[in-house]
Amino acid sequence: MKPMHPTPLLDELEKGPWPSFVTGIKRLAKDKEMMVDLLGQLETSYETRLGYWKGGTVSVFGYGAGVIPRFTELKDENGKPKFPAAAEFHTLRVMPPAGMHYSTDILRKLCDIWERWGSGLIALHGQSGDIMFQGATTENVQWAWEEINELGFDLGGAGAGVRTAMSCVGAARCEQSCYNEAEAHRAVINSVLHHIHRPSLPYKFKFKFSGCPNDCMNSVQRSDFAVIGIWRDNIQTDAELAKRWVEKNGGPEGAIANVVDWVINRCPTKAIQLKRKDQVKEGESISSVALTEQWALEIENRDCVRCMHCINVMTGALAPGKDRGAAILIGGKRTLKIGDLMGTVVIPFMKLDTDEDRQKLVELAHKVIDFFADNALEHERIGEMIDRIGLVPFLEAIGIDPDPNMVIHPRSNPFVRTDGWDEEVARIKAKKAQVA
């Protein structure tokens, strides 16, 4: 076995209580020369403060994406790699089961494959949402892939195509879940696999699926197509769980002060009020729940923006409504090149209960991707494209009517040609009449 290179800098990262990736890599280096040399190259980076990988083209037979090639650039004066066993160190991006659930059995099988064909280093998970099998030679990429594929797994995205998506734990274990995230995730992504495996879009396109407005998948900031769970009807309440919450959080007196500080004062639209129990209103849009003999919470659901705060604080005592579904926000991304963009609302609500509902989401996703493919410039994300052409042409192309939920406020400048106003009002009224 090849002797270890001295790694005084990396050794420092074996100290301290948090689990150490260096210790793990050293364990692999006992059996893998590739990892001996990987430590050599990484230690060099720590010395020189420079990276030494370059990309290239490596793929598996039949796919055009999903492998991230890495070749060393750290070479001696004769152009020979200084750490030859790690000269090729490619990554396979593999899509995990939606929600990142595993049995120990499947994890062990994946480990065995990667020990057989790769370095033994696996990231659970990369920022793209993939299982990252890191470190294989060009030759072994294919053989590792075939065994992973045989277990029922598929490669993820890379380059200018649809990317691997992420969905939260959601319906599998979370009471705030407003739709079946895993089913929606799989329905959409498994219908656009050609865009993942053979990327040919203007630029990358990411989906993320969060079950409620807490948006645990960061979909609003980090995806081109964010599916965020939300509900239309009233917040549900549970008297027994409210009573238990009061007991746990200060008792009849202390809990009332806490409710004011933690819940009432933090409601962004003042939709929730503390009321004397006998003064609580009744009505179609009112939710209420007693806290003590004297006090109760009253929520005017028409004022509520479904932010989740009160539900997060009083989980169970308060809960999302029954009429659940999702909002679709398009165009989130980081700075390059027109400044950071959040996704913005294009569908305020759609049901996602049945296969039929999910099929509508799939159709919407296809329409959006097709419009993006036809209209975006090279290296332009859909958020930037919408910024360039305006939201309205995008909505018209997709066939979505404007909705005040799509804006923070209406236009504050007069620079718009409005000579179609009357026709537009007539069109909207006619459409509304037809629905009613």
Partner 1 sequence: MSEPQQEKRTPKKPVPHGVPDPKQFMHPVLLRNIGNWKYHDRPRPGVLHHVAKSGDEVWTVRAGTQRQMDVWTIRKLCDIADQYGERYMRFTIRSNVEITVADPKKVEPLIKALEENGFPVGGTGNSCSMVAHTQGWLHCDIPGTDASGVVKSLMDALYEEFKNEQLPNRLHLSTSCCEINCGGQADIAVIVQHTKPPKINHDLVANMCERPAVVARCPVAAIRPALVNGKPSLEVDEKKCVCCGACFPPCPPMQINDPVHTKLAVWVGGKNSNARSRPTFMKMVAAGLPNNPPRWPEVTEVVLRIVRAYKEDGRPWERVSDWIDRIGWPRFFEKTGLVFTKYLIDDYKHARATLNASTHIRF
Query: Do 52 and 72 form a contact (C-beta atoms < 8 A)?
Result: yes
Answer for which of 260, 305, 392, 425 binds partner 1 (CB under 8 A) is 305
Q: In this complex, which beta carbon is closest to partner 1, that of residue 261 or of residue 396? A: 261
Rounded to whole angstroms, how far apart are CA atoms 372 and 383? 10
The least distance separating partner 1 from the CB of residue 64, rounded to whole angstroms, comes to 11
- Around Cβ 4, how many Cβ atoms within 10 Å? 13
From 182-190, 281-289, 391-399, 421-429, give the range in contact with partner 1 by CB under 8 A.
182-190
Q: Smallest distance, Å, CB 214 to partner 1?
A: 5
State yes or no: residue 161 binds partner 1 (CB under 8 A): no
Q: How far is the CB of 426 from partner 1 (least distance, A)?
A: 34
What gap in Å lies between CA 345 and CA 402, rounded to an integer? 10
To partner 1, the closest distance from the beta carbon of 332 in angstroms equals 9
177 touches partner 1 by CB under 8 A? yes
**Residue 375 φ/ψ, nearest 5 degrees:** -120, -20
Per CB under 8 A, contacts with partner 1 among 3-62 are: 9-10, 12-13, 15-22, 24-25, 27-28, 31, 38, 42, 45-46, 48-55, 60-62
Structure tokens, 128: 């793209």
Per CB under 8 A, the segment of 163-171, 296-304, 366-374, 393-401 that binds partner 1 is 163-171
Based on CB atoms, which residue is closest to partner 1, 342 or 398? 342
Residue 7, classed as helix, strand or coil, is coil
Residues of span 242-261 touching partner 1 by CB under 8 A: 258, 261
Burial 44-71 (b: 16+ CB within 10 A, else e): beeeeeeebbeeeebbbeebbbbbbbbb
For the bound state, the minimum distance from the C-beta of residue 342 to partner 1, rounded and expressed in Å, comes to: 6
Q: Which of 36, 58, 65, 68 binds partner 1 (CB under 8 A)?
A: 68
Is 214 a binding residue for partner 1 by CB under 8 A? The answer is yes
Question: What would the x/- binding string for partner 1 be over residues 350 to 379, using CB under 8 A?
Answer: ----------------------------xx
Which residues have CB under 8 Å from 232's CB, separation 6+? 321, 323, 325, 349
Closer of 172 and 398 to partner 1 (Cβ):
172
What separation in angstroms does the CA of 192 have from each of 38, 333, 389, 413?
Answer: 36, 21, 25, 40
**Least distance between partner 1 and beta carbon 20 (Å):** 6
Does residue 205 bind partner 1 (CB under 8 A)?
no
Total residues contacting partner 1 by CB under 8 A comes to: 133
CA distance 231 to 261: 26
Nearest Cα to 376, choosing from 208, 205, 250?
Answer: 205
Indicate whether 138 belongs to the interface with partner 1 (CB under 8 A).
Answer: no
> Which is closer to partner 1, CB of 340 or CB of 401?
340
Q: Is 81 in the site for partner 1 (CB under 8 A)?
A: no
User: Would you state the structure tokens that stand for residue 360, as one six-digit string?
Assistant: 């509508």
Sign of CA dihedral 125, 127, 129, 131: negative
Task: Provide the edge-to-edge strand list for the sheet that holds 166-167.
Answer: 166-167, 207-210, 225-231, 324-330, 344-350
Decide whether 45 or 397 has the Cβ nearer to partner 1: 45
What secondary structure does DSSP assign to 402-426, as a single string?
--GGG-SSS--S--S--TTHHHHHH
Q: Which residue has the tokens 């004022």?
A: 303
Q: For residue 369, what are its two tokens?
A: 């991707």
Letters for 309-348 (x = contact with partner 1 by CB under 8 A, - = none) are: x--xx-xxx-x--------------xxxxxxx-x------
Tell which positions 93-132 bind partner 1, by CB under 8 A: 95-108, 111-112, 114-117, 120-127
DSSP state, 176? T
DSSP designation for 352: -
CB of 238 to partner 1, least distance (A): 8
Contact between 303 and partner 1 by CB under 8 A: the answer reads no
Residues 375-404 that bind partner 1 (CB under 8 A): 378-379
Residue 279 CA neighbour count, 13 Å, CB half: 6
